[in-house]
């Protein structure tokens, strides 16, 4: 386990809350202190930590790997920051992109054509973990003269059909 400042602060907060709670049960400070020391790791790892993971939008990030991109499409969001921040595919041709990412999953809308354009390739990145996350992450590569000129990441709101 790595002791980071944030971990220590969270652990202290949980200890203080557990200690305040045990003080309401018994007024003997030494007993409350001992019970708090024993209960703090249990409360932290089985209550506090899972709640943080449910309600925060933190997710792991990985370096881009073509094999992982193809093998696990639902975890592509872990590699998306490197693709967009490093602009990995800028200047690549359509055939080079297709060799690494695979064929486009759908074409993006081009307002000037008023149709889907074969020069806007879109890929599904999956859903970032979180309890209330209803947005699907997507990646769009735009081509001009058969070379990538821009890369952007965007979110699509998930809409569920109503039952008849």
pLDDT above 70 (res 82): yes
CA distance 55 to 137: 18
pLDDT tens track for 121-151: 999 988 887 777 788 889 999 999 989 999 9
DSSP state of 163: P
- Domains along the chain? 5-55 (no CATH), 66-157 (3.30.1450)
Output the CA torsion sign for 80, 84, 89, 95.
positive
User: What are the φ/ψ torsions at residue 112 (nearest 5 degrees)?
Assistant: -70, -35
CA distance 102 to 160: 28
At 58, the pLDDT band (50, 70, 90 cuts) reads low
For position 2, what pLDDT does the model report?
Answer: 72
CA distance 143 to 148: 4
For position 156, what pLDDT does the model report?
Answer: 86
**In 3D, which of 135, 65, 59, 128 has the Cα closest to residue 101?**
65
For position 18, what pLDDT does the model report?
Answer: 92
For position 7, what pLDDT does the model report?
Answer: 84
């Amino acid at each position: 386990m790595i002791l980071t400042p944030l971990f220590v602060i969270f652990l202290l907060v949980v200890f203080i809350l557990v200690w305040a709670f045990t003080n309401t049960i018994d007024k003997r400070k030494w007993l409350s202190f001992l019970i708090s020391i024993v209960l703090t790791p249990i409360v932290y790892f089985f209550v506090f930590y899972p709640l943080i993971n449910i309600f925060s939008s933190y997710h792991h990030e990985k370096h881009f790997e073509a094999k992982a991109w193809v093998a696990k499409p639902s975890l592509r969001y872990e590699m998306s920051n490197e693709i967009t921040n490093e602009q990995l595919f800028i200047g690549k041709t359509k055939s080079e992109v297709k060799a690494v990412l695979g064929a486009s999953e759908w074409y993006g809308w081009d307002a000037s054509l008023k149709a889907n354009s074969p020069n806007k390739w879109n890929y599904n990145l999956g859903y970032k973990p979180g309890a209330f996350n209803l947005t699907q992450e997507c990646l769009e590569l735009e081509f001009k003269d058969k070379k990538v000129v821009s890369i952007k990441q965007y979110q699509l709101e998930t809409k569920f059909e109503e039952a008849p």
